[in-house]
Amino acid sequence: MIKVSQIKSYIFSIFWTCSIITLFLVGVLWTFVYSIFGFVTSPFIYSQQKEIHSAILRRDINRVKKYLEQGGDINAVAAERMTGLHLAVKLKNYEIADFLLSRGAEVNVKDKYNVTPLHTAVTNKDSRLTNLLIDYGAVTDIFITTLQGNIEALQNYLQVGGNPNITTGKSRQTLLELSIKAHSLAMVKCLLDKGAEITKINARGFTPLYIAASEGQYSISKLLIDRGAKVNTICDRHTALYQAARSGNQNLVELLLNSGAKINIPTCHVLHKAVDKDNIEIVELLINRGAKINSRDGFPFRETPLHLAIKKGNINLVELLLSKGADANLKTFFPPMTAIQMATQYPEIVKLLKNYGATVDFAVFNAASKGDFEVIKEYINEGGNVNATYQQETTLLHFAASRGHNDIVQLLIDNGANVNAKNQQEVTPLLYAAQYATVSKNQSTAALLIVHGAIVDIQSAALLKNIDAVRGYLEQGGNPNAKIKGRMTLLQMAVMSGELEMVQLLLDKGVKIVPRKSFNLLVTALQRGHIEIFKLLVDYGAKVNSGFFFSQIIGFSLLNIAVTSGNIELVQLLIDNGANINKAGWFINSMTPLHLAAQLGYLEVAELLLNNGANVNAKTRFSGFTPLQLSRDLAIKILLKKYGAKG
């Protein structure tokens, strides 16, 4: 018996592989482009890691110990000249850092950007690791003492002529920035008095005021503004006001607004950020000061603050926004959804939206689809139109029938729903019910509709396995190749439902198997375990080497699917009908059927392939693996070597 689950798993793995490789290639391109311009660190920062780095990443101290016992270099560097100690401190792993230091790790080692482990510990505000490193002799400099908030050390440095605008390495952090991060108003004032540049930016393009706002520092921000800091400078698409809203400091937000901060700068989305942080006071303040309540954030979603509040399920914010004039019927861009569509899991928010004029149609259609009887009942009791339509003129009955919700189907019919309504694709509720029956194996919804007058069209008859109806249709001159607008043919439906006799009838009546469509028919038969139908289709001319363009690229062949199932009879059938035994994808998943058989441990299948000319030394396109290298089964390895496998 064919292993349907394995076929589905194989098909899923192919498309999952495509997705992963696509993301990988995007990542490589991103890294390449940005490495040219120097904007970001490669996402593959650990790709050059040594064994010690790998162990530290896994927080495996025993593996670190074993590495050193075997003579490994404790100060080995990986990408960006990062040592194991750098990495342990970055990961805030005190145990491993302490162990490395006790074994002699260089405490003052610098990476590519002249950053020491102590710099990292202080930046992370990890006092425990900071003290540990100092105990082992880490050298403190003016940057570290400033970040630690040591005003005496800063004053001494400035008194002997130290440069107040000195910067660190590649990050170009100033003493003023570090003083802000230390939350020291006195140090900031000291530096400004000594000539620190108030508009100097770091490597990320951040100004001192932007950093102070991101730290939620009211007093420091006020001092900077009083000394001339510009409040509307854009740093990485955002302003100090955006960061203040993110920090949740209402007084700071008010300070910036009173100092001339602009709310509606297109790239900032300050109101969105306040909503995201669930800060109702700041949201109200921003609206009262002129924030555009229906403004949209960036692509692809293009959400309004109301959409965001609904997604968070915050009914208080939703009510505030609606009371201030938020449009309850605006849609997001991708996917296109109204506020009420987004709120379906929050009944109280749905009621609130309805009170403010939100269109309720979707909520009702969604209830019909999900089987929420009470919502439909309430809708009808309030005088709702049972034959109302949604997208493509689809009715409530269509939605309910497509999911087998018999109680709602009955309720709608009892209240006058049209059982033969057609949407823009000319699909009736009965056809939806018939399609549902092929999956659920339950025809009760279809029967309910038929009892109440649903006309049994030929497509529904095919899906419901009513061969007499299909035969009668054909005998009366019906077109055997007919298909409903934009949907499946009778043959496709018969294959899907697994009705062998009906497939035979249609083929005998002259149904044409279009070469480019035969692949889909054969895959459907395989996926659903309809082997006899598969054989019949092949007998009537379905091409076993057919496939759409993308399937050729990824190696998604019928023979590969058959091999994955382990069904030797099916493999033999495909070979007998001319399946390409050495076919592999052009790019992704470039394994031949023999690779798959060897990897999955199917001895008989592998032998059958070899007996029919499979290339025993074929190599995968990327990694160059042979079937022998992929095999984990001793018997298969012996078989492959018998047929001349190398290695």
Query: Per-residue pLDDT tens for 229-255?
Result: 999 999 989 999 999 999 999 999 999
Query: Per-residue pLDDT tens for 92-134?
Result: 999 999 999 999 999 999 988 888 999 899 888 898 999 999 9
Q: What length does the chain have? A: 647
Please give the average per-residue pLDDT across 175-195, as a whole number: 96
Query: Per-residue pLDDT tens for 594-633?
Result: 999 999 999 999 999 999 999 999 998 777 889 999 998 8
pLDDT of 523 strictly over 80: yes
Longest dimension (CA), the chain: 106
Burial pattern 422-451, b for ≥16 Cβ within 10 A else e, equals: bbeeebbbbbbbbbbbbeeeebebbebbbe
Query: Per-residue pLDDT tens for 61-76?
Result: 999 999 999 999 999 9
d(CA 52, CA 73) in angstroms, rounded, equals 8
What does the pLDDT read at residue 585? 65
Query: Residue with structure tokens 């970001």?
Result: 40
* SS3 assignment, position 249: coil
Contact predicate 292/264, CB 8 Å: yes
Percent of the chain scored above 70 by pLDDT? Answer: 88
Query: Per-residue pLDDT tens for 340-351?
Result: 888 878 989 988
What does the pLDDT read at residue 125? 84
Contacts of 430 (CB under 8 A, 6+ apart): 401, 419, 420, 446, 449, 450, 454, 455, 456, 457, 460
What does the pLDDT read at residue 31? 42
Percent of the chain scored above 90 by pLDDT? Answer: 50
Q: Comparing C-alpha atoms, which of 585, 644, 579, 645 is closest to residue 620?
A: 585
pLDDT of 43 strictly over 60: no
User: pLDDT confidence of 52, banded at 50, 70, 90?
Assistant: very high
DSSP assignment string, 430-455: HHHHHHHHHHH---HHHHHHHHTT--
- pTM, full prediction: 0.55
What does the pLDDT read at residue 516? 63
- Average pLDDT over the chain, rounded to an integer: 86
pLDDT of 42 strictly over 70: no
pLDDT of 486 strictly over 70: no
Q: Where in the chain is the domain with CATH 1.25.40.20?
A: 1-43+544-647, 51-140, 152-322
Query: Per-residue pLDDT tens for 382-396?
Result: 888 899 887 788 999
225 or 646: which leads in pLDDT: 225
The answer as to CATH 3.40.50.300 being correct for domain 51-140 is no
What does the pLDDT read at residue 546? 66
What does the pLDDT read at residue 286? 98
In CATH, the architecture of 1-43+544-647 is Alpha Horseshoe (1.25)
What does the pLDDT read at residue 22? 54
Identify the top-confidence range among 1-10, 63-72, 209-218. Answer: 209-218
517 or 493: which leads in pLDDT: 493
* SS3 assignment, position 511: coil
User: pLDDT confidence of 517, banded at 50, 70, 90?
Assistant: low
567 or 248: which leads in pLDDT: 248
Query: Per-residue pLDDT tens for 304-327?
Result: 999 999 999 999 999 999 999 999
**CATH classification of 152-322, choosing from 1.25.40.20, 1.10.260.40, 3.90.1170.50, 3.40.50.2300?**
1.25.40.20
